[in-house]
Amino acid sequence: MNRGYLIGAVLAVMVTGWASAQTGEMMATLAGRDSVLLPRARSFLAAAAGIVSPQDAVTATDGFLVSLGYRIPSGTEAATKGEVALLTMQLFGLTGDLRYEILPAPASAFRVLQSRGYFASWERPGQIIPGNDIIDLVHRLHVSEAGFPAVRPDEAPVERGVLRR
């Protein structure tokens, strides 16, 4: 696990105003993982979006989120980028293009976020999403909502821990 990345992410999200001790613990369980189970991703995203409190995020059931009107991808396997994109679009109240509005599915949600620069052009909705990518997605959403431009993944000065020259 890249400890420097985790510390930087925790500090960055605390500055944007949505981190708490419980959210920090949730981020610590995601950081450095090659894959994240879908229920854990749902819990983290619901807490980060402010739908549930971080204390209740782990015990918040899918039924609760469905009762609020969200289309929640089901399953207990590793989360894909498309599933996380769909959850992110819904839980953060983001609007999409016509395709997404007609059929809010993982692939169309992924394409909307990809067109906005939250996913790189080479990424695909069916790929398993690492924990660090979920943390980065939420951080960049909060930064862009605060009025700062989100950096596209292919424009970032650091790629996989190596400074671009």
Q: pLDDT per residue over 120-165, tens digit each? A: 989 999 999 998 999 999 988 887 765 554 554 444 444 444 433 3
pLDDT at residue 112, as a whole number: 94
pTM of the shown model: 0.72
pLDDT tens-digit series, residues 59-117? 666 677 777 777 777 677 899 999 999 989 988 888 888 888 888 889 999 999 999 98
The Cα–Cα gap between 16 and 96 comes to 24
**Do the bridges between strand 162-163 and strand 158-159 make them parallel or antiparallel, or are there none, so unpaired?**
antiparallel
Q: What does the block give as tokens for 15?
A: 């500055």
Q: What does the block give as tokens for 40?
A: 């854990």
Q: What is the DSSP track for the chain?
A: --HHHHHHHHHHHHHHT---HHHHHHHHHHTT-S--BHHHHHHHHHHHTTSS-HHHHTT--HHHHHHTT--PPP-SSBPBHHHHHHHHHHHTT----HHHHH---HHHHHHHHHHTTSS-TT--TTSBPPHHHHHHHHHHHHHHHTTPPPPPGGG-SEETTEE--
Max mean pLDDT among 5-19, 36-50, 59-73 falls in 36-50
- Contact (CB, 8 A) for 35 and 129: yes
Mean pLDDT of 30-43: 84
* The pLDDT of residue 21 is above 80: no
* Contacts with 15 (C-beta within 8 Å, 6 or more apart), sequence order: none
Q: Which residue has the tokens 């971080």?
A: 54
Q: What does the block give as tokens for 82?
A: 């498309």
